[in-house]
């Protein structure tokens, strides 16, 4: 009989899926890294397991302790899942724009969820980041601190990067991924560039986020609101390492959602909104890349997390988005 004793043993080793040949034939090979096949449904399961197990081994966490962090949903879900397996409690702060599916799942996993104003900036006491920081300080909770925790990118350096290198037989030429905290992209990129410095690392960012300006110029410009979840930021994170990023591309909500809806409706690939962002960039870059290029695109989570958002025709119309699946 073949089975595992814990769903934590199912984290990682996600497959690569070739994205529709009509977009890259006879040109470059475009492969999606299906992180939504992790047991908690997202790439964030990786850092949840790595950070929590490391903290427990170092005596910083023990059964019955409480973990707190701000989250756009996926990190919280991964942390809550791993925490439940180890008898830990969780509290998460999240912006009001976070999909109801994510909030409900956090609560189903036993977490306490605190909703904060979407418009509150990172340094606003009302916002999810400062609220989590304050509660951790006041109550002695373990602050997971995904934005600035060095173990965030390290988790991907030890898992995601080696998997991609092995799965592509070392032939990967381009890595395309969104920037949320910067951990997934930069940890993975660092490993791949150590193996082959010629690997091109492309970051994708929504308009209104400060990452694009910061990576290009080292300066932070004005920020605004955007609807895509899980990527973008109004603060510079320590998990971000611009030195491993070769290019950053800004993608509109319109193109992100249209690409995600196209992948789902036409090809049955259940990719979330930020997966659409990364796929959109990969498709465009592949048009000009050498035919022997191998693109790996990180798909962080699934469409099922956004049924009330970009996969709802009603929601799309209410927010003035076109229902077309052609970005």
For the stretch 114-157, pLDDT in tens is: 999 998 988 999 999 999 999 999 999 999 999 999 999 999 99
Q: What is the pLDDT of residue 27?
A: 78
Q: What's the CA gap between 28 and 12, in Å, rounded?
A: 26
Crossing angle between the packed helical segments 151-158 and 160-167, to the nearest 10 degrees = 20
Q: What's the CA gap between 253 and 230, in Å, rounded?
A: 12
Residue-range domains of the chain with CATH = 7-43+151-318 (3.40.50.1100), 45-143 (3.40.50.1100)
Q: Average pLDDT of 281-291?
A: 94
For the stretch 29-56, pLDDT in tens is: 999 999 999 999 999 999 999 999 999 9
pTM metric for this prediction: 0.94
Q: What is the pLDDT of residue 150?
A: 95
Q: What is the pLDDT of residue 22?
A: 58
Residue 114: exposure state from Cβ atoms within 10 A (0-12, 13-18, ≥19): middle
> Which amino acids are annotated catalytic?
44
Element (H, E) at 285: helix 273-286
pLDDT at 78 over 90: yes
Q: How many CA atoms lie within 13 A of 32 on its CB side?
A: 30
pLDDT at 25 over 90: no
pLDDT at 26 over 80: no
For the stretch 260-277, pLDDT in tens is: 999 999 889 999 999 999
Q: What is the pLDDT of residue 282?
A: 96
Q: Which residues pair with 248 in a beta bridge?
A: 203
The order of strands in the sheet holding 247-250 is 16-18, 29-34, 294-299, 174-178, 200-205, 247-250
Task: Tell me how many degrees the CA angle 189-192-193 measures, rounded to the nearest 5.
Answer: 80
CB 78, CB 88: distance < 8 Å: no
């Amino acid at each position: 009989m073949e089975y595992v004793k814990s769903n934590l043993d199912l984290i990682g080793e996600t497959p690569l899926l070739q994205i529709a040949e009509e977009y890259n034939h006879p040109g470059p090979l475009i492969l999606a890294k299906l992180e939504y096949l992790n047991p908690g449904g997202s790439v964030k399961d990786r850092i949840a397991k790595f950070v929590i197990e490391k903290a427990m081994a170092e005596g910083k966490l023990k059964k019955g302790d409480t973990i707190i962090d701000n989250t756009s949903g996926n990190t919280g879900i991964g942390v809550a899942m791993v925490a439940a397996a180890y008898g830990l409690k969780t509290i998460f702060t999240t912006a009001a724009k976070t999909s109801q599916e994510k909030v409900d799942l956090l609560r189903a996993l036993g977490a306490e969820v605190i909703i904060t104003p979407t418009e509150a900036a990172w340094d606003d006491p009302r916002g999810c980041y400062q609220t989590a920081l304050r509660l951790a300080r006041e109550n002695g909770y373990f602050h997971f601190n995904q934005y600035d925790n060095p173990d965030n990118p390290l988790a991907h350096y030890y898992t995601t990067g080696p998997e991609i290198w092995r799965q592509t037989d070392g032939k990967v030429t381009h890595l395309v991924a969104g920037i949320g905290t910067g951990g997934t992209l930069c940890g993975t990129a660092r490993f791949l560039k150590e193996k082959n410095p010629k690997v091109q690392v492309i970051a994708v960012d929504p308009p209104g986020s400060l990452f694009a300006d910061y990576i290009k110029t080292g300066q932070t410009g004005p920020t605004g609101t955007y609807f895509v979840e899980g990527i973008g930021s109004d603060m510079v994170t320590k998990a971000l390492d611009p030195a491993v990023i070769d290019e950053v591309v800004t993608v509109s909500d319109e193109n992100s959602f249209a690409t995600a809806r196209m992948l789902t409706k036409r090809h049955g690939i259940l990719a979330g909104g930020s997966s659409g962002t990364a796929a959109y960039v990969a498709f465009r870059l592949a048009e000009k890349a050498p035919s022997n290029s191998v693109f790996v695109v990180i798909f962080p989570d699934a469409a099922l997390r956004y049924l009330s958002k970009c996969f709802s025709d009603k929601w799309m119309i209410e927010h003035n988005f076109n229902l077309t699946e052609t970005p």
